[in-house]
Amino acid sequence: MANRQPIMLSAPDYRQACYLKSSPSLAQCPPDQGYEVAFAGRSNAGKSSALNALTESAKLARTSKTPGRTQMLNFFELDEYRRLVDLPGYGYAKVPEAMKKKWQHHLDEYLSARESLCGMVLLMDIRHPLKDFDLGLLQWADQCGLPTHVLLTKADKLKYGAAQKVLMNVRTQCNSMELVTVQCFSSLKKTGTSELIKQLNSWFCAPLPQQVIAGDETSSDEQTAESFDSGND
Domains delineated in the chain = 14-232 (3.40.50.300)
Residue 228: band (very low, low, confident or very high) from pLDDT cuts 50, 70, 90: very low
- Rounded to 5 degrees, φ, ψ at 111 are -65, -30
pLDDT at 230 over 90: no
Predicted pLDDT of residue 94: 61
* H-assigned helices in 89-187: 97-113, 132-144, 160-173
Among 92, 46, 54, 70, CA closest to 190? 54
What's the rounded mean pLDDT across residues 124-141?
94
d(CA 55, CA 125): 20
Among 87, 63, 75, CA closest to 33? 75
CB-facing half-sphere around the CA of 23: CA atoms within 13 A: 20
d(CA 103, CA 207): 33
d(CA 162, CA 158): 6
Residue 227: band (very low, low, confident or very high) from pLDDT cuts 50, 70, 90: very low
CA 146 to each of CA 92, 122, 132, 178: distance values in angstroms, whole numbers, following the listed order: 25, 12, 19, 10
d(CA 39, CA 117): 11
Is the CB of residue 185 less than 8 Å from the CB of residue 155? yes
The helix-helix angle for 47-55 and 193-204 (nearest 10°) equals 80
Among 100, 25, 158, CA closest to 169? 158
Is the CB of residue 166 less than 8 Å from the CB of residue 135? no
Q: How many residues does the chain have?
A: 233
Q: Model-level pTM?
A: 0.86
Residue 119: band (very low, low, confident or very high) from pLDDT cuts 50, 70, 90: very high
Among 46, 41, 39, 78, CA closest to 186? 46
Residue 63: band (very low, low, confident or very high) from pLDDT cuts 50, 70, 90: low
